Amino acid sequence: MVGKHIFAVLMAFAFAFRAYSQQLVPQANQTIPPPDWSEKVDLGLYSVAWSPNSELLAVGGRGTVRIYRLPNFTIEKTLDTGQEEIWALAWSPDGTLLGCAGKDGTVQFWQNGLLQKKLFQGGWILDIGWNPDGTSLMAVDYSGLAKEWDVQGYLRASIQLDGDGLGVDWSPKGRLFAVTTGQEGSRLLLFDAQSGVLRWRRQDVLAGYTAPFGYGLDEVNGVRYSPTGKLIATAHQDGRILVHSAEKGDAVFAAQLHPSGVGGARRVAWSPKGDWLVSCGEDGQVNCVDYPKGKQRIVLLSTGKPVWSVAWSPDNKWIAAVGDEGRAWIWSTNFIALFSEAKESTKGEKTPHPKSDSTPKRHSRQKSSPFDWIRRHL
């Protein structure tokens, strides 16, 4: 009986995955560009962050942060944080401090390889972001709290969210910050940092979307402001990447870059010019799409395990991603020029364009999903 039930679930899952995958933004006519550098560095990697000058890359794994120096990809420093799984990394605006946070519920500040501060937030921290003025850092956690810590280690503010805190980012001018939530909230929220007032909140759950067992309504896993501060991009468990107006929160762009549910989108990042978006997902893919047209996606990576984090370097030269394989990948952005040339050469051709329509690893919760078991045993 158990075998029959498992077979039925597998068949249903495979059908649902196939059906929804047909709505993905079409893949460009391309050969997947190989990474310029890749290395297996840990049993699992969960976060990645570029320094402001793009010379250093921090990679978070199981209790250890490795800092690489480009362009030779040599290890500059190794930080033993003791944070179990490190799900959040962020450099201060001046590049002097590295903030890291993770499963143990602490935020740590590091400078020149030395621990400066260790702050106890409590819940499993999924994302952090520096205020552009460099005086404070915001952290969001599984208990649904957003906390702002100043560089001296004092708690400036604490906000109870409407669900698990999954993503956070500051506006370029620092007055506002955006937060994303999961479970029954599953929203994008925008706060005024000075007054603590909620400016607006948006929930974009598709009418026909049914979340897998153990997931929220449609968890919003990642959030990033555009370089101009006028737009906010979000990564959703249903596989979409959405772009919202920062002023009112209205959705102005949608692209189905990952399959729905257990293969959903995890993180999203803008190119420094704001003309491209890159995303990663639990389907094991890293995808790029040009903004605002978004008619074709460039697949940078297709692997068998979730890719948890992706980041575009500030100098516009590199894209980095890390995932469950414990591997880091880095691509030169030269492929964009090649893609543009290929588009020009086929400008007169018409390409069908389906209508365009995201949570930490489920072992992080006490309640587990049967889909997780299936994914591990396929």
Query: Peptide bond before 71: cis, by omega within 30 degrees of 0?
Result: yes
Confidence of residue 18 (pLDDT cuts 50, 70, 90): very low
The arithmetic mean of pLDDT across residues 59-85, rounded, is 97
At 347 the pLDDT is: 57
At 345 the pLDDT is: 60
Distance separating alpha carbons of residues 167 and 163, to the nearest angstrom: 11
At 4 the pLDDT is: 34
Distance separating alpha carbons of residues 135 and 149, to the nearest angstrom: 9
For the stretch 282-321, pLDDT in tens is 999 999 999 999 999 999 999 999 999 999 999 999 999 9
Beta pairing class for 176-181 and 251-256: unpaired
For the stretch 112-168, pLDDT in tens is 999 999 999 999 999 999 999 999 999 999 999 999 999 999 999 999 999 999 999
**Cβ atoms within 10 Å of 93's Cβ, excluding its own:** 16
Q: Where do the H-state alpha helices sit in 148-239?
A: none
At 15 the pLDDT is: 33
Distance separating alpha carbons of residues 79 and 304, to the nearest angstrom: 28
Distance separating alpha carbons of residues 2 and 7, to the nearest angstrom: 9
Is the pTM value of this prediction over 0.95? no
The arithmetic mean of pLDDT across residues 177-187, rounded, is 97
Distance separating alpha carbons of residues 99 and 104, to the nearest angstrom: 14
Confidence of residue 343 (pLDDT cuts 50, 70, 90): low
At 378 the pLDDT is: 39
- 371 has pLDDT over 90: no
Helix axes 370-377, 2-21, angle to 10 degrees: 90
More confident residue, 378 or 207: 207
- The mean of the pLDDT values for the chain is 87
Distance separating alpha carbons of residues 324 and 281, to the nearest angstrom: 11
The arithmetic mean of pLDDT across residues 348-356, rounded, is 45
Which residue has 């026909």 as its token pair?
208
Homologous superfamily of 2-377 = YVTN repeat-like/Quinoprotein amine dehydrogenase (2.130.10.10)
The arithmetic mean of pLDDT across residues 358-372, rounded, is 38
Nearest Cα residue to 256 out of 23, 19, 18: 23
> Which residues are registered as beta bridge partners of 177?
170, 191
At 29 the pLDDT is: 82
